[in-house]
Amino acid sequence: KDNQEDKEPLFDTVDTLKDTLRIFAEMIGGQVDAATGEKSGGITVHPQPMEDAARKGYATATDLADYLVKKGLPFRDAHETVAHAVKAAQSHGCDLSELPLSVLQGFHPQIEKDVYDVLSLRGSLDARNTLGGTAPAQVRMQLARHQARLASKN
């Protein structure tokens, strides 16, 4: 069999990836008109709607499970406890972080006041302080690294 024939799907994939990356770069950064140098398009970040969206959907449920596991609960039990807490939050029409401590303690007695540290969005982000994680220090480090890399190419 001709070696080139079996590589056709690979070549198609490479072409598609190149096009995708070009389009993605334009989507993120916008386009610069070669004649005028003016930039148009790109993404505009709106922090408040992003934060509001992040508060929906019980994004910190995993953090509550991790919290309970650190308190000594088997993960299966922690998962079940979190499921009950999420159902309660849904029925109250609120986020997990808005449930009163007494309600949370009704799901497990080892839940203490410090649970609110892990149920906040900031606490959730800060908890992932590993290389490439969501902690602000990690994000700043990655930004600096990539900005330096881009600057070295110019």
Could you tell me if residue 112 is inside a domain?
yes
Scanning the structure block, which residue is given the tokens 């993605």?
24
How many whole angstroms separate alpha carbon 82 and alpha carbon 65? Answer: 6
CATH number for the domain spanning 75: value is 1.10.40.30
Number of domains in the chain: 1
Decide: 134 and 128 in contact? Cβ < 8 Å.
yes
The pLDDT tens digits of the residues spanning 74-130 come to 999 999 999 999 999 999 999 999 999 999 999 999 999 999 999 999 999 998 999
Could you tell me if residue 136 is inside a domain?
no
Tell whether pTM > 0.85: no
The partner residues of 40 in beta bridges, in order of sequence, read: 31
How many whole angstroms separate alpha carbon 28 and alpha carbon 140? Answer: 19
Domain that holds residue 90: 58-119
